[in-house]
Chains A and B, each alone.
Chain A
């Protein structure tokens, strides 16, 4: 696989604070790479370094083979950025915003007009092209940001929390558009707090915590690394068994109880289901609901970043 972004030892300090601490990873051609982390973990600082907004203190990165420190203009020629906050020019029209970004990227007149028309149509903004950006809702502004990024013809698209706080329709349209573009070869670097979004869209994810990479892999493999967090959830209809009866079932490592619902954590879900059903039969208990829950990406995220929170509370 061809490497599009190669990050080596990337570090950024703000005074004594090390915001990004010797980070290393690679992003391959045509993948959607998720970059996850709690607030203040270093996600935005990493994106800002990769997109030329701030300079690294140590280390470097290449984008399409161009070093961000030695060849910043060439590395930025391949990218477009959609930041978390839709920072469109409010006093320019939708069309003027697109033309400005395209012109700054040196897109030829004929091509920028053609692309802008196509993108406005695809993202449902065609009828608003003459409207000032100030008049657009948050969702529409974010769609405009995506249009303004895509009209420059990027090879790598940086999305920083692109659907945060958006209405369902706009969020879905943005996700759909990005997925469609990715299928046609666009490489995407995505930061998000939305774990289901990351799980659904990303080929691989990196989890950053306290400025350091805690894990990088496919969502499936990351989930499998915490198989001990897999659990059987059982809800009893009326009478419930004793807590220690469930705890002593073979294969159960931990129990959480909430009223009539029990979570039995296990690496052996099949065996525990059998044992729960057997226990219910023998005690004449009625099971209202029974399910097997595999760890989500959110569980992985919390598992890898929980130490930070605990220390923060102390």
Chain B
């Protein structure tokens, strides 16, 4: 009983620490230029580049727009926080506190989750207000956005693991991963209409599953079934977070 109580107390302290990290990240990083440029402006430019001059009904692109906003926003915070803190030498203060590295990373993931979830509501509302689109399943849309944000935020934290002291280097790496995946994940056109080789790659991208859930929520046909998308997002999230813990720990000393 004592051991269980101690374990529960430790978990509570670590969770509290993660929330403190979240609060710090919100205060310090949400309005940093790289987050705003790569998280907010990027999806808007991609949308305009895709939409302008093409005869596509606006309501058909709303799910893709939501998924793309979610992808960029949720994965924008993680790649900034750790390199920024390494450069400012505040990282070594964090890791000398009685917080585990895992708890610090949970805080960073939560920062991406909250940022992505909040900002992806904007295209949902714009889509509902400006087009004829409608939501057929709020629970699926909520699950798609929250699980997707959690997954992409975990990916962002994983991408921040290499020991670079400049956020620009990590942002470059993260865009090398994020932008190609955008084109094979059913954002701009349904996966079923993409070339066959792209259809083979699509299941390897977590964005494909979030995109499928959001399409289903808006009543559009999705390449993956809802249960499979939910399961794959959970599995991808676990994998990304476990890899994040491993690589951040491995490169901890090099980043000081």
Interface residues of A (CB under 8 A from B): 48, 51-55, 72-74, 76-77, 79, 81, 83, 85, 87-92, 96, 100-101, 103-106
Report whether A76 and B27 are in contact in the complex, using a CB–CB cutoff of 8 Å.
Answer: no
Which residues on the A side are within 8 Å of B253 (C-beta)?
48, 53-55
What's the Cα separation between A81 and B13 when bound, in Å?
Answer: 20
Report whether A104 and B20 are in contact in the complex, using a CB–CB cutoff of 8 Å.
Answer: yes
Report whether B24 and A100 are in contact in the complex, using a CB–CB cutoff of 8 Å.
Answer: yes
Report whether A53 and B28 are in contact in the complex, using a CB–CB cutoff of 8 Å.
Answer: no
Report whether A79 and B96 are in contact in the complex, using a CB–CB cutoff of 8 Å.
Answer: yes
Report whether A77 and B98 are in contact in the complex, using a CB–CB cutoff of 8 Å.
Answer: yes
What's the Cα separation between A228 and B199 when bound, in Å?
Answer: 83
Report whether A53 and B95 are in contact in the complex, using a CB–CB cutoff of 8 Å.
Answer: yes
Which residues on the B side are within 8 Å of A106 (C-beta)?
13, 16-17, 98
B51 interface residue, CB < 8 Å from A?
no
Which residues on the B side are within 8 Å of A83 (C-beta)?
89, 92-93
Report whether A54 and B256 are in contact in the complex, using a CB–CB cutoff of 8 Å.
Answer: yes
Kindly name the residue among B13, B27, B89, B93 whose own CB sees the greatest number of chain A CB atoms within 10 A. Answer: B93
Q: Within the complex, what minimum Cβ distance (angstroms) separates B103 from chain A?
A: 9
Interface residues of B (CB under 8 A from A): 10, 13, 16-17, 20-21, 24, 27-28, 88-90, 92-100, 252-253, 256
Which residues on the B side are within 8 Å of A77 (C-beta)?
98
Report whether B28 and A91 are in contact in the complex, using a CB–CB cutoff of 8 Å.
Answer: yes
Report whether A81 and B96 are in contact in the complex, using a CB–CB cutoff of 8 Å.
Answer: yes
Which residues on the B side are within 8 Å of A55 (C-beta)?
252-253
What's the Cα separation between A55 and B253 when bound, in Å?
Answer: 8
Q: Within the complex, what minimum Cβ distance (angstroms) separates A70 from chain B?
A: 13
Q: Within the complex, what minimum Cβ distance (angstroms) separates A120 from chain B?
A: 19
Q: Within the complex, what minimum Cβ distance (angstroms) separates A93 from chain B?
A: 10
Q: A54-B256, A73-B10, A92-B24 are in contact. List 5 more A-B contacts (CB 8 A).
A: A53-B96, A73-B100, A74-B98, A76-B96, A104-B21
What's the Cα separation between A104 and B14 when bound, in Å?
Answer: 9
A-B residue pair count with CB separations less than 8 angstroms? 70
| Cβ contact of A105, chosen from B27, B88, B98, cutoff 8 A | B98
Q: Within the complex, what minimum Cβ distance (angstroms) separates A90 from chain B?
A: 7
Report whether A53 and B256 are in contact in the complex, using a CB–CB cutoff of 8 Å.
Answer: yes
| Cβ contact of B92, chosen from A73, A87, A89, cutoff 8 A | A87
Report whether A87 and B93 are in contact in the complex, using a CB–CB cutoff of 8 Å.
Answer: yes
| Cβ contact of A90, chosen from B20, B88, B97, cutoff 8 A | B88
A-B contact pairs, 20 of them (CB 8 A): A52-B95, A52-B96, A53-B253, A53-B256, A54-B256, A55-B252, A55-B253, A72-B100, A73-B10, A73-B98, A73-B99, A76-B96, A79-B96, A83-B93, A90-B88, A100-B20, A104-B97, A104-B98, A105-B98, A106-B13
A81 with B93: in contact, given A53-B252, A105-B98, A106-B98 (CB under 8 Å)?
A: yes
Q: Within the complex, what minimum Cβ distance (angstroms) separates B35 from chain A?
A: 13
Which residues on the B side are within 8 Å of A85 (C-beta)?
89
A101 with B97: in contact, given A53-B253, A55-B253 (CB under 8 Å)?
A: yes
Q: Within the complex, what minimum Cβ distance (angstroms) separates B18 from chain A?
A: 10
Which residues on the A side are within 8 Å of B90 (C-beta)?
87-89
Report whether B28 and A48 are in contact in the complex, using a CB–CB cutoff of 8 Å.
Answer: no
